[in-house]
Amino acid sequence: MSNQEIIIDGPNVVHGGDTAPTDMHGHEHHEQHFIWKYIFSQDHKIISKQFLITGIIWAIIGALMSVFFRLQLGFPDSTFPIMEKFLGDWAKGGKLTPEFYYALITMHGTILVFFVLTAGLSGTFANLLIPYQVGARDMASPFMNMLSYWFFFAASILMFTSLFVETGPASGGWTTYPPLSALKEASLGSGVGMDLWLMSMALFVVSSLLGGLNYISTVLNMRTKGMTMTRLPLTIWALFFTAVLGVLSFPVLFSGLVLLIFDRNFGTSFYLSEIFIGGKALPHVGGSAILYQHLFWFLGHPEVYIIMLPGMGMASEVLSTNSRKPIFGYFAMIISLIGITLLAFLVWAHHMFVTGMSPFLGSIFVLLTLLIAVPSAVKVFNWLTTIWRGNIRFTPAMLFALGFVSLFISGGLTGIFLGNSALDIHLHDTYFVVAHFHIVMGVSAFFGMFAGIYHWFPKMFGKFMNNSLGYIHFFITFIGSYLIFWPMHYEGIAGMPRRYYDYSAWESFKHFQGINAFISIVAIIVFFTQLLFVVNFFTSIFRGRKLTNPNPWGATTLEWTTPIHPGHGNWVGEIPEVYRWPYDYKDDGHGNDFIPQTTPLRPGEEEH
Amino acid sequence: MSGFIIITLIILVFIVIYQIGKASEYAAVIRGEEKVKASTNRTIAILLLAMFVLSIWGIWMCNDLFKGKLLPVAACATGVNYDMMFNMTTLVTGIVFFLTQAVLFWFAFRYRSTGDKRTTFFFPHNNKLEIIWTTIPAIAMAILVAIGLRNWFDVTSPAPPEATVVEVVGKQFNWLIRYPGKDKELGKRDFRKINDANNILGLDWSDPHNMDDIIAQNGELHVVVNKPVKLLIGSRDVIHDVGLPHFRMKMDAVPGITTTLWFTPTITTDSMKLITHNPDFVYEISCDQVCGKGHYSMRGTVIVQTQAEYDKWMAAQQTYYSQNAPGAAPTTPAAAPTDAPKKDSVKAVTMK
């Protein structure tokens, strides 16, 4: 399929590149109504901004929730009247109720895992980078792409609404294991809040599938001339596998959720068996609560990689660009991505070692889980070799990419403990797990995202973000993340369970009170530092320093060959042809230290 | 009021930081961007290296601070194996952690740009290196898997036949412990027969094995030192989890499914008080699977005793049957007292 085809855009037709090149840029906004240009837009660039800004709003809400429950964990004997202003009766007199504490941790997890680090991360960067970097005027189906955002938006509205229902939002943990989540008698949050959670997640799956199918078909079909698969930047490879993971695993979550809806509302017994609750025995017999966990983690584990892979891709790109060196082991990077993607589907039951499953089955999952360490190690060593003997520019994006590698190492190594069932049996569901996954898929993925935002902000808005604020943001966030999550490992090793409202009655855990208070204080500081980033982001959109050079970082990839303010269709005139791989950071013979992908090979020059 | 003052202060701090950021941007333009870039680059590189050195020092201090507070003393043989494996994994990952982080920060510092357009080392790939660092982690993982699986099959092996069998049942929000009594056999139970007033576990009174069963509603699990004990784990309502940090054991309590775990305690509670220098020491059972609002208060205890102490304690226990005349029990579960869940929430609150 040619990329030169006409793009249909709302009620107005915008011309493809070959019809009237000059119209592509400059005149288009006169023709389009505001609603079609900025709201129900089919332009991948606008949709990516919509995902990003929605994601930022969700991230602030989700992080604020963590501040509230960290106050409870750090200072269980104090009251904070300001919380009552935010939470009303849920924090009467300034003290969280246990019900709402559980609702907060559930929502914090759901929001950050799905709404921020899935939709906000791959929604933003897949939309922004795939058409740009493969050399396409837009996605394979811009209309589906628009739907993808609006399904996400609808899911967001439902989830947000659930925060305000009388019995509170879902409160059974972000994994919402039945029977706790299936029975209204089991907890307040299993009432209307849980119904809204389920509906919201169902819409979210739809959004994710519409987006994912689009990303896959765009990468496979819409590459410009000369852009073979082996000339794709690693960001595209990573986003491609992210989409593959999502498309293959989200439907399984969907089926799990549908069965849960049936159990909750229509009297089926998929997950329920032999339960006595609320003073009476329920009629359900024969279901298995563990079935849900299999269905959930069949998505839940690939989900971790859905969150991680975009960060890996962007870190690769940013590290290479700012070291002025090619990424080391381009093919090894792709092969390790393939390895991670395949293994991601085969390890889900390592979340379930202590559910009473067969020890033999457990041993298979141990083996497969620890195998993931191999491709992960390859990636880390390749990143380290990439910066070796480079000429490193410490842009904020580069700092976050370096931070990403550091956190990925730290969090990955603790995974070796948890993936080994013999060690997991003690560490399971303790703070060790909390520390592990927050470092490796929470903070680390956020660092990948920040690297991406700082790096591609000039492309998105034609302005720079403020560097000094970026540096402050990086150092406080990086040090703060370690200060928050490092001590949690110690608590977990001592066996301190996660998701507790108060530890003061426990002889084995109460001596960690001091460290919990410390963690809470750091968490609050880090939270406000993120607001600094938000301020920097929004003020830079309007008041940031203007871009004068369309390729400010001296990068080789195609997105920097577009104008500073590209119209719908990205390139004025022909889409450029690609002649080389995306990491030719070497002397071009004219005093530049990079050769764009669009430069033909010099006579006698060998392709990578 | 103080809340507003704090918010105002925070906003002011924000404005100040923002203005500094903006000002530095203008200053850079005036002083010449290339020059500023080079000096910033140097500052950042030094900061990164300093941060790494400080972090390593911090980790050292932290480990010192927590010495002896981490893995609690293992009170069973498999627990000792666990600790060996844990320490070995920590050593391996610790070395990798230190080396890779050191390399990362050293490279960042060493290869910082100094402003010139230095030609970098064009080094796109090297298959030998890739093979080396694929093989080494693979071998390391194989060793860890081997040790892990040996321990795993050890702890999940069937309990020895002489093990004492005790049933542990979770409910929102406490643990019910059932001992088999003199006949050493647990009788049948049925969730439909549960009644919070007089048949808390739904014991089937037509099964004679139930007649001498003892139920501890205070969550106290009494076990004999150096004698294997096998727990049959169940749940009345939602998923709970029997967490035994001192025995390095954990197992979910799932409604409708019976799970098991077994261990041989080697240190009595009294000796443990001396070992830990804590007169209040007690082995605790924590619920490790979120189970509702009282999850954090779902606490049980394990009392490890000598055989003599255990026998004495056991002799003082009354059977559940004798405490709850079954003749008076309502036959339909629907007639159960409706205030049952309320009682739970009171318990959860008073627990604290």
Tell how strand A276-277 and strand B174-179 pair up.
unpaired
In this prediction, residue B327 has a pLDDT band, given cuts at 50, 70 and 90, of low
Mutate to test the interface with B, among A67, A274, A353, A393 (most CBs of B within 10 A): A274
Rg (CA), chain A: 25
In chain A, what residues touch B62 (CB-CB under 8 Å)?
Answer: 486-487, 490
- Is A478 in Cβ contact with B51 (below 8 Å)? yes
Place of tokens 């040996």: B150
**Do B87 and B68 have their domain in common?**
yes
Chain segment A499-531, per-residue pLDDT in tens: 999 999 999 999 999 999 999 999 999 999 999
- Is A469 in Cβ contact with B245 (below 8 Å)? no
A179: closest chain B residue by CA = B238
Closest CA to B180 of B189, B191, B170: B189
Rg (CA), chain B: 30
Question: Is B146 a domain residue?
Answer: yes
For residues B234 and B259, give the distance between their C-alpha atoms in angstroms, rounded to a whole number: 7
- Is B25 in Cβ contact with A545 (below 8 Å)? yes
Place of tokens 């004025």: A572
**Do B139 and B168 have their domain in common?**
no
Question: Is A240 a domain residue?
Answer: yes
Question: Is A267 a domain residue?
Answer: yes
0.90 exceeded by pTM: yes
Chain segment B41-99, per-residue pLDDT in tens: 999 999 999 999 999 999 999 889 888 888 899 999 999 999 999 999 999 999 999 99
> What was the pLDDT predicted at B130?
93
Of all residues in chain A, the percent with pLDDT exceeding 90 is: 85
In this prediction, residue B14 has a pLDDT band, given cuts at 50, 70 and 90, of confident
- Asked if residue A66 lies in contact with residue A527, where contact means CB atoms within 8 angstroms, the answer is yes
- Residue type for position B89: T
- Is A528 in Cβ contact with B10 (below 8 Å)? yes
**Do B187 and B144 have their domain in common?**
no
For residues A523 and A332, give the distance between their C-alpha atoms in angstroms, rounded to a whole number: 37
Number of domains in chain A: 1
Average pLDDT over residues A266-286: 93
B189 forms bridges with which residues in the sheet? Answer: B203
**Do B169 and B137 have their domain in common?**
no
Chain segment B50-64, per-residue pLDDT in tens: 999 999 999 999 889
Question: Is A575 a domain residue?
Answer: no
**Do B150 and B230 have their domain in common?**
no
- Asked if residue A79 lies in contact with residue A94, where contact means CB atoms within 8 angstroms, the answer is yes
Average pLDDT, chain B: 87
**Do B245 and B298 have their domain in common?**
yes
> What was the pLDDT predicted at A30?
53
**Do B174 and B290 have their domain in common?**
yes
For residue A85, the domain's CATH number is: 1.20.210.10
Residue range(s) defining the domain that contains residue A446: 7-561
- Is B20 in Cβ contact with A468 (below 8 Å)? yes
Question: Is A100 a domain residue?
Answer: yes
Question: Is B348 a domain residue?
Answer: no
C-alpha distance from B347 to closest chain A C-alpha (Å): 13
> What was the pLDDT predicted at B13?
86
**Do B273 and B314 have their domain in common?**
yes
For residues A513 and A498, give the distance between their C-alpha atoms in angstroms, rounded to a whole number: 14
Question: Is A190 a domain residue?
Answer: yes
Chain segment A524-582, per-residue pLDDT in tens: 999 999 999 999 999 999 999 999 999 999 999 999 999 999 988 899 989 999 999 99
In chain A, what residues touch B329 (CB-CB under 8 Å)?
Answer: none
Which ipTM value was assigned to this complex?
A: 0.91
Question: Is B352 a domain residue?
Answer: no
For residues A434 and A340, give the distance between their C-alpha atoms in angstroms, rounded to a whole number: 22
B336 forms bridges with which residues in the sheet? Answer: none
In chain B, what residues touch A349 (CB-CB under 8 Å)?
Answer: none
* DSSP calls for B181-201: TTTT-PPPB-GGG-BTTTBTT
Number of domains in chain B: 2
In chain B, what residues touch A280 (CB-CB under 8 Å)?
Answer: 333-334, 336
A505: closest chain B residue by CA = B352
- Is A290 in Cβ contact with B334 (below 8 Å)? no
> What was the pLDDT predicted at A320?
96
Element at A339 (helix H, strand E)? helix A330-344
pLDDT at A2 over 60: no
> What was the pLDDT predicted at A17?
41
> What was the pLDDT predicted at A604?
81
- Asked if residue A581 lies in contact with residue A330, where contact means CB atoms within 8 angstroms, the answer is yes
- Is B133 in Cβ contact with A381 (below 8 Å)? yes
Q: Over A529-595, what HEC string results? A: HHHHHHHHHHHHHHHCCECCCCCCCCCCCHHHHCCCCCCCCCCCCCCCCCCCCCCCCCCCCCCCCCC
Of all residues in chain A, the percent with pLDDT exceeding 70 is: 95
**Do B195 and B294 have their domain in common?**
yes
Instruction: Tally the residues of chain A.
Output: 608
Question: Is A572 a domain residue?
Answer: no
In this prediction, residue A21 has a pLDDT band, given cuts at 50, 70 and 90, of very low
Average pLDDT over residues A46-52: 96
Work out the number of other CB atoms within 10 angstroms of the CB of residue A206. 18
Q: Coil, strand, or helix at residue A166?
A: coil
B73: closest chain A residue by CA = A494
Peptide bond into B208 cis (omega under 30): no
DSSP B160: P
**Do B177 and B310 have their domain in common?**
yes
For residue B288, the domain's CATH number is: 2.60.40.420
- Is B112 in Cβ contact with A180 (below 8 Å)? no
* DSSP calls for A380-438: HHHHHHHHTT--B---HHHHHHHHHHHHHHHHHHHHHHHTSHHHHHHHTTBHHHHHHHI
B224 forms bridges with which residues in the sheet? Answer: B305
Question: Is A360 a domain residue?
Answer: yes
Question: Is B9 a domain residue?
Answer: no
- Asked if residue B272 lies in contact with residue B75, where contact means CB atoms within 8 angstroms, the answer is yes
Residue B120 is nearest to which of A325, A329, A592, comparing CB atoms?
A325
Residue range(s) defining the domain that contains residue B285: 164-326
In chain A, what residues touch B172 (CB-CB under 8 Å)?
Answer: 186, 277
Work out the number of other CB atoms within 10 angstroms of the CB of residue B206. 10
In this prediction, residue B216 has a pLDDT band, given cuts at 50, 70 and 90, of very high
Closest CA to B302 of B184, B201, B216, B183: B216
Closest CA to B58 of B100, B101, B87, B17: B101
**Do B227 and B319 have their domain in common?**
yes
> What was the pLDDT predicted at B333?
43
In this prediction, residue B30 has a pLDDT band, given cuts at 50, 70 and 90, of confident
Average pLDDT over residues B105-134: 87
**Do B172 and B314 have their domain in common?**
yes
A-B contacts (CB, under 8 Å): 386
Question: Is A583 a domain residue?
Answer: no
In this prediction, residue B352 has a pLDDT band, given cuts at 50, 70 and 90, of very low
- Is B153 in Cβ contact with A363 (below 8 Å)? yes
Chain segment A409-463, per-residue pLDDT in tens: 999 999 999 999 999 999 999 999 999 999 999 999 999 999 999 999 999 999 9
The structure tokens listed for B3 are 């809340």
Average pLDDT over residues A61-71: 95
> What was the pLDDT predicted at A31?
66
DSSP B246: G
